[in-house]
Structure 1
Amino acid sequence: MSRCKVLVVDDSAVVRQLLSELLASDPDIEVVGTAADPLLAREKIKRLNPDVLTLDVEMPRMDGLAFLENLMRLRPMPVVMVSSLTERGADITLQALALGAVDFVTKPKAGLAQALGEYAEEITGKVKAAARARVRPLATAAQPLVRLEAAPASAPVATRFRTTDRLIAIGASAGGTEALRVVLSQMPPDAPAIVLTQHIPASFSRPFAERLDRHSAMLVREAGDGELILPGHVYLPPGDHHLRVVRDGARWRCRLDPGPPVNRHRPAVDVLFQSVAQSAGANAVGAILTGMGDDGARGLLELRQTGAPTLVQDEATSVVWGMPGAAMKLGAADEILPLDAIAGRLLELAGHTVAA
């Protein structure tokens, strides 16, 4: 199998050199060139025909998002964004993923050479996964984002959300920020409560929750420790914490866990799914969307073994079919569905009837 050809685009000469050396240390990767800005990158893409592009999120003298948008319209190819851990960096990265970037890695704030070495496995793994990703032209990769009207703030909770004892649990990774947007945008405001885990850095969790909330009729928020889980709400873990669901009498509550990474992730999908299996059992519905690796596969199997319906996103609509594929191999999924059909099926399995 031929090596993955990578073009590194970054305005910093130091970062270009370090990323090139780090990527080239993997025998399955060949760094075919570097570029200091998108204009140079455009010419080198034509000449070198790389399989994957690494692209700095914030670059002076040139708008990286504008370059990415043009690239995904005219010559769609796998792109891994290299992001800072700032709030602005998080917002731009999420916009880049909406435009069709496959995944992202974050730059450490200090000790660049040493820190990048520590992240070698993550960076090389994401680049190689990106080379196998399904990249679509921007016209189909990014749908128009519409802010749905929420229920009036003065409306009492009892009239805004119907009572339910069902719980939907969703896990995702690479490609998941947009896949989750698609699923949540199709959910009605009175849908059963949703708990989710997306592999994302700590500083990205709040901007991510806010972005999902803007495009969903449900209320999307970072979970608080001990917070009651309510219908019509979506909960995701804040910064660097696992999210667990615990039973409190006839109710469920969120439990935040700063414990060690599981499957090299914190938050981890397996942690969420296993807690849902223990606390909700057959009253839950589980789903794994696009993502790299196998996190969540064992947890989804535990959910299925308790009698909970389970499903995964199909290979054709997944950016990376690692996590869903791993769940299929374990026999953890009852169904496999394209992305656009997942929200409706989750509601059916949860016994939800949308009000007329």
Structure 2
Amino acid sequence: MKKYTALVVDDSAFMRKMITDIINQSRLIEVISTARNGEDALEKVEKWKPDVVTMDVEMPIMDGITTLTHMMEKSPTPVVMLSSLTKIGADKTMEAMSLGAVDFIAKPSGSISLNIKEIQQEIISKVEQAVVSNISTFQKREKAKSVSLDTESRFLKRNRPMVNPIIAIGSSTGGPRALQEIITNLPSDFKAPIVVVQHMPKGFTKSLADRLNKLSNVEVKEVENGDLIEKGKVYIAEGGKQFEVIGNGAELIAKVSKREPVNGHQPSVDVLFGSIARLPHCHPLSIILTGMGKDGSNGIVQLKQRHPRTITISQSKETCVVYGMPQAAERTSLVDYVLDIQDISTILQEKV
């Protein structure tokens, strides 16, 4: 079987060698070449036309962000960023996600991680996911389906208005860019709280929330234990912890705790959705966005059982980077609407 090809980009010769050795353990992918900086990477991409690229965020001569920008304009290729666990690294990684990187990997101990082998399974898994991802979503903006937004809007408007609405969103691979598409298009007077689980490690969720807050009309923050969940605000789960919404009389309160992973995830979409299902008086609207796996599907079942009027939306296959989570949601037969990512914020404004 012919393997996919990878280009490894890092300014450290040690890291290039280690990452190459790790990727070459994959049954699907082999490293065809390496590059020591962004300029070198752009030349190698043109020469070798790899199926996937791993790229360090911080490099001399031309850094990962600049390189990614040029690459997505001239030679769109699935890219997995490698970042140090620093605030600067996290902030730049979130910028890379918005520019078209498929995913990222946090180096366990800085730019030169001698213990990089500790995360070799994560590296192999994410590179294998990236090589089959749908990066065309980063280039085209036209609608992918024949169903018009006007038709969907007229149908949704005939429904009764939502009372005590709460919007719950789950996303994974490709999620930061999808969340940006939705949240930055909401008005400052949006009339429902929004709670979000994005699969991401600790430290990076704060950078994601801060970036979205700067770009949006609504307030966006990384949720903290005890936060009052208020309308017109967006609360993003902290990486490495579970996020639940609990009732306290007429108020909704955030419960953030360190627990066991669910479906291999902490935070988990199922945990968040399940907590909302247990709320006595609310009208949930759940959204499953791009991502690998099936996290959120069990939560959808719980929501529909406890709150039959729950509205569930999944992101269309054509606009997903990875269709796994939306596909799993649709297989429950409980999804009400399948929408292109650029239509979701409009539907939210009409329903809430």
Give the TM-score band, short-chain normalised. Answer: 0.7 to 0.9
2:245 counterpart residue number: 245
Query: Partner letter of residue 109 of structure 1?
Result: S
Q: Does 2:326 match 1:324?
A: yes
TM-score calculated relative to the size of structure 2: 0.87
Cα deviation per residue 1:91-142 (whole Å; 9 max; x = unaligned)? 111111111111111101179344x33322222121111112122486658x
Is the contact made by 2:137 and 2:319 (CA closer than 8 Å) also made in structure 1?
Answer: no
Query: Partner letter of residue 253 of structure 2?
Result: R
1:112 counterpart residue number: 113
| Displacement after TM superposition at 1:72 (Å) | 0.5
Q: Secondary structure at the match of 1:279?
A: coil
2:185 counterpart residue number: 186
| Displacement after TM superposition at 1:255 (Å) | 0.3
Flag the 1:181–1:301 CA change in 2: closer, same or farther, 3 A. same
**Take 1:84 and 1:280, find their aligned partners in 2: how far apart are those partners?**
43
| Displacement after TM superposition at 1:261 (Å) | 1.7
Task: Answer with 105-114 or 218-227: which moved more.
Answer: 105-114
Query: Partner letter of residue 84 of structure 1?
Result: S
2:343 counterpart residue number: 341
| Displacement after TM superposition at 1:164 (Å) | 6.2
Q: Does 2:277 match 1:277?
A: yes
Counterparts of 1:291-310 in structure 2 under 5 Å? 291-306=291-306, 307=308, 308-310=310-312
2:260 counterpart residue number: 260
Is the contact made by 1:197 and 1:269 (CA closer than 8 Å) also made in structure 2?
Answer: yes
Is the contact made by 2:68 and 2:96 (CA closer than 8 Å) also made in structure 1?
Answer: yes
| Displacement after TM superposition at 1:82 (Å) | 0.6
Is the contact made by 2:164 and 2:282 (CA closer than 8 Å) also made in structure 1?
Answer: no
Q: Secondary structure at the match of 2:108?
A: coil
Q: Which runs of 4+ in 1 moved over 6 A?
A: none
**Take 2:123 and 2:135, find their aligned partners in 1: how far apart are those partners?**
19
Counterparts of 1:74-85 in structure 2 under 5 Å? 74-85=74-85
Cα deviation per residue 1:223-265 (whole Å; 9 max; x = unaligned)? 2212221111111123421110111122211000111222222
Flag the 1:265–1:281 CA change in 2: closer, same or farther, 3 A. farther
Query: Partner letter of residue 83 of structure 1?
Result: S
Q: Secondary structure at the match of 2:109?
A: coil
Is the contact made by 2:45 and 2:75 (CA closer than 8 Å) also made in structure 1?
Answer: no
Is the contact made by 1:77 and 1:135 (CA closer than 8 Å) also made in structure 2?
Answer: yes
| Displacement after TM superposition at 1:271 (Å) | 1.0
Query: Partner letter of residue 330 of structure 2?
Result: M
Is the contact made by 2:37 and 2:63 (CA closer than 8 Å) also made in structure 1?
Answer: no
| Displacement after TM superposition at 1:214 (Å) | 1.3
Is the contact made by 2:137 and 2:320 (CA closer than 8 Å) also made in structure 1?
Answer: no
1:95 counterpart residue number: 95
**Take 2:300 and 2:137, find their aligned partners in 1: how far apart are those partners?**
32
Q: Give the CA RMSD over aligned residues.
A: 2.0
**Take 2:238 and 2:57, find their aligned partners in 1: how far apart are those partners?**
23
Q: Secondary structure at the match of 1:34?
A: strand
**Take 1:199 and 1:90, find their aligned partners in 2: how far apart are those partners?**
14
Task: Answer with 233-242 or 179-188: which moved more.
Answer: 233-242
Counterparts of 1:149-298 in structure 2 under 5 Å? 165-191=164-190, 192-279=192-279, 283-298=283-298
Flag the 1:67–1:279 CA change in 2: closer, same or farther, 3 A. same
| Displacement after TM superposition at 1:331 (Å) | 2.5
| Displacement after TM superposition at 1:171 (Å) | 0.8
**Take 2:248 and 2:302, find their aligned partners in 1: how far apart are those partners?**
21
Query: Partner letter of residue 182 of structure 2?
Result: V
**Take 1:16 and 1:293, find their aligned partners in 2: how far apart are those partners?**
29
TM-score calculated relative to the size of structure 1: 0.87
Gapped regions of structure 1 (runs ≥ 5): 142-162
**Take 1:285 and 1:217, find their aligned partners in 2: how far apart are those partners?**
21
| Displacement after TM superposition at 1:272 (Å) | 0.7
Is the contact made by 1:73 and 1:138 (CA closer than 8 Å) also made in structure 2?
Answer: no
Cα deviation per residue 1:157-184 (whole Å; 9 max; x = unaligned)? xxxxxx9611000011111111111101
Is the contact made by 1:102 and 1:174 (CA closer than 8 Å) also made in structure 2?
Answer: yes
| Displacement after TM superposition at 1:24 (Å) | 1.1
Is the contact made by 2:38 and 2:61 (CA closer than 8 Å) also made in structure 1?
Answer: no
Cα deviation per residue 1:54-92 (whole Å; 9 max; x = unaligned)? 010000222221111111101111111011111000111
Task: Answer with 299-308 or 269-278: which moved more.
Answer: 299-308
Q: Secondary structure at the match of 2:71?
A: helix
